[in-house]
Structure formats: structure tokens, C-alpha cells
Amino acid sequence: METHPRDMPVSKTFDVPDEASVQGIVDEMVAGGFDPGYRVLMPKDKRAARRIGYMVTTGVTHGMRGRGEAGRVRYWTYHHDDTRYGIVLASGAAGQDP
């Protein structure tokens, strides 16, 4: 049975209302590692969500590359609820696919 990203265990959930707060969140995620992972919730505005999602995923990739751990993080995007999209970021060694 597959696990939905909404049900994956995470160490912290970030509710990101806009692009201004993304860099601090990315820095915290990279410093903390990705075991078990993090959830990022974004507004269900396609343009804002695309920009926030791009900033999060590229920021994490860049930060992990700087630590010599490129390719270690996997992520899944999904519809979290009626008002938000979500991204779950977890260690590539986390095991099962959602």
C-alpha cells in the first residue's frame, strides 16, 4: 500500500504564506538534515505556489550540494487541502515512495 505525502512523518511543518520567508526556511532545513523530513505548505495560488516551490527545491538542492550531499533529498508535491499545496522533502534513503 502506498503512502500519501500528506501522511509521511516529518520533523517539522512550515506554513509559507509568501516568498519572503523562504530563504530562512531553506537554511533551517539544510542545517537540520532530512531525516525524517519536512513539510512545506503553500497557498493554493498557482503562481505563488510555483515560485515558492521552485525557491524551496532549488534552495535545498543548492544547500545540500554545498554540504557535499547532493542528490540525498527527495521531494513530493501534492494537494494538501482545499486552500494549500504541499511539498514533503525527505532523505533519499527514506525508503518507500508515497
Using an 8 Å Cβ cutoff, are 95 and 40 in contact?
Answer: no
Instruction: State the Cα–Cα distance between residues 14 and 22, nearest whole angstrom.
Output: 10
Please give the domain boundaries of the chain with CATH numbers for all domains. Answer: 5-91 (3.30.110)
Secondary structure of residue 86 in the 3-state scheme? strand
Secondary structure of residue 65 in the 3-state scheme? helix
What length does the chain have? 98
Give the model's pLDDT for residue 93.
59
Give the model's pLDDT for residue 35.
85
Cis status of the peptide bond prior to 17, with omega within 30 of 0: no
> Tens place of pLDDT for every residue, the chain, 98 residues?
478 888 899 999 999 999 999 999 999 999 998 889 999 999 999 999 999 999 999 999 999 998 888 778 899 999 999 999 999 999 875 444 44
